[in-house]
Structure 1
Amino acid sequence: MGERSPGARERIVAGAADMIRRRGLAATSVRELAAHAGTPLGSTYHYFPGGKQQLAAEAVRYAGDRVGAVLARELAAGPVAGLRAFLGMWRRTMLDSDFRAGCPVLAVAVEEPADEAGSAAVAAAAEVFTAWETVLARSLREHGAEPGRAARLAALAVAAVEGAVAVCRARRDIGALDDTAVELEALLRAATAAER
């Protein structure tokens, strides 16, 4: 059906998430997002009448949902398996892009919103981080961690991984993520074993 098909909307959102993870939100225009998605500029404004900030918020949620689905699936095997999958996704993203791409959720979270509309994208980033923490904390509790500790460890894991992604991109080296993986895995193992 052309540019108005549901596929066009999803391509725009996926393309926006890809560009944001590479360049950040401020350095990405709606025109570039449309071109990257292979859709006419008019279709971008048709689907996203709120403009760039609406599109950014949806791109953040899209990326968050995709990562969250993998995380939830892998957490079925336990918190360490989920953590490994979470780390593995970011490891592949950075290595496959030669450190040119990171996490679009983090990219939006660290940029100062240009206006009140921009706060919608930052709010979406906060929602995504909370969702990731929630599924990890639930898995930790299910595997024996005390509820308060499970919540703290989940927040630490998400923050540490996201921070490691930023460090790896800056250094053009995967070491920070690998070091973070070793230490977080030890913490999660200790929390679930000690509480049993």
Structure 2
Amino acid sequence: MAKSSAPSRERIVAGAADMISRRGLSATSIRDLAKHAKAPLGSTYHYFPEGKQQLVTEAVRYAGGAVARILRAELKAGPVAGVRAFLGLWRGIVVESDFRAGCPVLAVSVEEPPLDEVSPALTAAAEAFEGWERLLAESLREHGVTRDRAEGLAALIVASVEGATAMCRAKRSAQPLDQVAQQLEELIVGAIDRPA
């Protein structure tokens, strides 16, 4: 969550991302989100006049952007280092929260949108996943992996990390992320060594 000295709007968005990562989308009301962010309910409606959907969408964008910034910085050292950092980020979140928190982007993704429309929050979640995949694929391509293989491997990395994060919460153990880390690192090294 953002520091309490952060602007009220940012604190509310960060608090919403944190709460969604812990309780999911359906189990959080706008009142709960404001309380979790230590913000007045009136401020929440002032900043997010469209209500919960607008706040959730911004929380997903916030979380997706925060992860992308970390991933972008770590990928400068190469795809193996980037994936280690990506896995380390999620491992830290689940372990430090005593397996109570996961990924808010995933939490929103698994909630059912209305059948007649795609929610803006679900669209933001798809954009976050695509952004992470794009960063990983670009790094892999920079290290000699073909475009198709890099894109496939990037999707596998994101899907594996997100799934392992959920498994960690269910099992109350970091073992799934640790196992996935080892396998992904071997796949990345193999793809770089044999890019064809």
User: Could you tell me how far apart the structure 1 residues matched to 2:52 and 2:181 are?
Assistant: 35
Cα distance in 2 for partners of 1:43, 1:117 equals 28
Measured at CA, do residues 40 and 115 of structure 1 come closer, stay the same or move farther in structure 2, by a change above 3 Å? farther
Q: RMSD across aligned C-alpha pairs, in angstroms? A: 1.6
Q: Which residue of 2 aligns with 1:68?
A: 68
Query: What is the aligned partner in structure 2 of residue 173 from structure 1?
Result: 173
Q: Deviations over 1:38-78 (max 9, x none)?
A: 11111111111111011001000101111110000000000
How many residue pairs are counted as aligned between the two chains? 192
Partners of 2:52 and 2:105 in 1: CA distance: 15
Instruction: Tell me the TM-score normalized by structure 2.
Output: 0.94
* Greater helix proportion: 1
Q: Sequence identity, in percent?
A: 63
Q: Does 1:15 align with 2:15?
A: yes
Q: Aligned pair 1:95/2:95, yes or no?
A: yes
Matching of residue 142 in structure 1 with residue 142 in structure 2: yes
The question of whether the paired residues in 2 share the 8 Å contact of 1:53 and 1:118 is answered with no
Partner of 2:192: 192
Give the match for residue 104 of structure 1. 104
In structure 1, C-alpha distance between the alignment counterparts of 2:51 and 2:95, rounded to whole Å: 32
Shift of 1:104: 0.3
User: Residue 94 of structure 1 aligns to a residue in which SS?
Assistant: helix
List structure 1 segments (4+ residues) > 3 angstroms apart after TM superposition. 114-118
Provide the secondary structure at the position in 1 that maps to 2:123: helix
Mapped pair 1:25 → 2:13: no
Structure 1 residue ranges without an equivalent (≥5)? none
Question: TM-score, normalised on structure 1?
Answer: 0.94
Q: Partners in 2 of 1:50 and 1:191 — Cα distance? A: 46
Q: Distance in 1 between matches of 2:153 and 2:6?
A: 39
